[in-house]
């Protein structure tokens, strides 16, 4: 695993890459990413700091059926080992889940966006390989609506900004619960 100096403290987990993200091979590269970066900057997170955040998705390819917003459970199941491996390797201190599917996948099916609104949960991960003695790493995770949802319904922007601000406070050591 990377040293504490090399690992990102923050992991951001989204649903899936948008078509722009897939073409550019970079997550949050379009309007959704710009929205997130603007709000983070307004809350004291510099571009240099954000550049060290690890951003990934549950599913690694764009939605193949543009008529459907939901992810196939088979796709999630197929991609889940990679997400677990990323968490194990990077050992983030904080995880930000964008959207309901990311919240349920990372934090457990009982953790919905509504139930996690304004709060964080503590998650324990085994950071060793399956045949090794378990060494547990704990991360604090929050779930907020997806920036793509905000772009589709701009009346949600104030709630999204407030939620992202709370996440920044959590990363800065402010325990707001």
pLDDT in tens, 138-173: 999 999 999 989 999 999 999 999 999 999 999 999
Starting from the edge strand earliest in sequence, which strands make up the sheet with 54-57, in order?
54-57, 10-14, 94-98, 136-144, 121-126
Q: What is the pLDDT along the chain (177 residues), one digit of tens a residue?
A: 445 556 789 999 998 766 666 665 567 777 888 999 999 999 999 988 988 899 998 887 666 666 666 777 888 888 899 999 899 888 999 999 999 999 999 999 899 888 988 899 999 988 887 788 888 999 999 999 999 899 999 999 999 999 999 999 999 998 776
Burial (CB count within 10 angstroms: exposed 0-12, middle 13-18, buried 19+), residue 117: middle
Helix (H) or strand (E) run with residue 96 in it: strand 94-98
C-alpha span between 80 and 71 (Å, rounded): 13
SS3 145: coil
Residue 160 and residue 144: Cα distance in Å, rounded? Answer: 7
Task: Tell me how far apart the alpha carbons of residues 63 and 60 are, in angstroms, rounded to a whole number.
Answer: 10
For the chain, the maximum distance between any two Cα atoms, rounded to a whole number of angstroms, is 49
Angle of the 100-107 helix axis to the 73-90 helix axis, nearest 10: 60
Taking residue 64's Cβ as centre, other Cβ atoms within 10 Å add up to: 9
């Amino acid at each position: 695993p990377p040293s504490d100096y090399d690992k990102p403290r923050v992991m951001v987990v989204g649903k899936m890459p948008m078509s722009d993200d897939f073409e550019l091979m970079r997550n949050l590269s379009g309007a959704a990413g710009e929205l997130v970066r603007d709000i983070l900057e307004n809350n004291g997170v510099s571009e240099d700091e954000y550049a060290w955040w690890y951003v990934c998705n549950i599913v690694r390819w764009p939605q193949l059926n543009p008529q459907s917003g939901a992810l196939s459970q088979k796709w999630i199941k197929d991609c889940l080992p990679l997400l677990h491996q990323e968490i194990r390797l990077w050992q983030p201190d904080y995880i930000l889940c964008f959207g309901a599917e990311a919240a349920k996948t990372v934090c457990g099916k009982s953790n919905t966006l509504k139930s996690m609104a304004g709060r964080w949960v503590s998650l324990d991960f085994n950071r060793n390989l399956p045949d090794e003695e378990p060494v547990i790493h704990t991360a604090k995770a929050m779930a907020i609506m997806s920036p793509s949802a905000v772009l589709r319904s701009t009346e949600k922007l104030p709630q999204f900004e407030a939620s992202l601000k709370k996440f920044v406070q959590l990363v800065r050591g402010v325990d707001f619960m």
